[in-house]
Amino acid sequence: MAGEMSDADARRPAEWLGRLPSLLAALVLFALMGMTFFDVVLRSLFNNPIEAATELTRLFMAIIVFSSLPVVSWKGGHIVVDLLDGWFGPAGARIRDCLVNLLSGLCLLWPALRVWQLADRAREYGDVTEYLHIPQFYIAYFISIATFATALVLLLRGVLFGFAPRRMSGNHPTAGPAEPDSERGS
Domain-wise residue ranges, the chain: 7-77+86-175
| Residue 170, amino acid | G
What's the pLDDT score for residue 89? 86
What's the pLDDT score for residue 92? 86
What's the pLDDT score for residue 6? 64
What does the alpha-carbon distance between residue 90 and residue 176 come to, in Å, rounded to a whole number? Answer: 10
Contact indicator for 93, 85 with CB cutoff of 8 Å: yes
What's the pLDDT score for residue 163? 86
What's the pLDDT score for residue 176? 42
135: helix, strand or coil: strand
| Residue 175, amino acid | A
Cβ contacts of residue 155 below 8 Å, gap of 6+? Answer: 101, 102, 105, 106
What's the pLDDT score for residue 183? 42
What's the pLDDT score for residue 2? 53
What's the pLDDT score for residue 170? 58
What does the alpha-carbon distance between residue 159 and residue 132 come to, in Å, rounded to a whole number? Answer: 43
Please name which of 4, 127, 145 lies closest in space to residue 67, comparing C-alpha atoms: 145
The average confidence (pLDDT) of the chain is 86
What does the alpha-carbon distance between residue 99 and residue 161 come to, in Å, rounded to a whole number? Answer: 9
What does the alpha-carbon distance between residue 6 and residue 74 come to, in Å, rounded to a whole number? Answer: 24
Contact indicator for 144, 119 with CB cutoff of 8 Å: yes
Q: How many other C-beta atoms are found inside a 10 Å radius of the C-beta of residue 127?
A: 15
Q: How far is CA 152 from CA 51, 62, 117, 147, in A?
A: 38, 20, 19, 9
Q: Which residues of the chain have pLDDT under 70?
A: 1-11, 14, 169-186
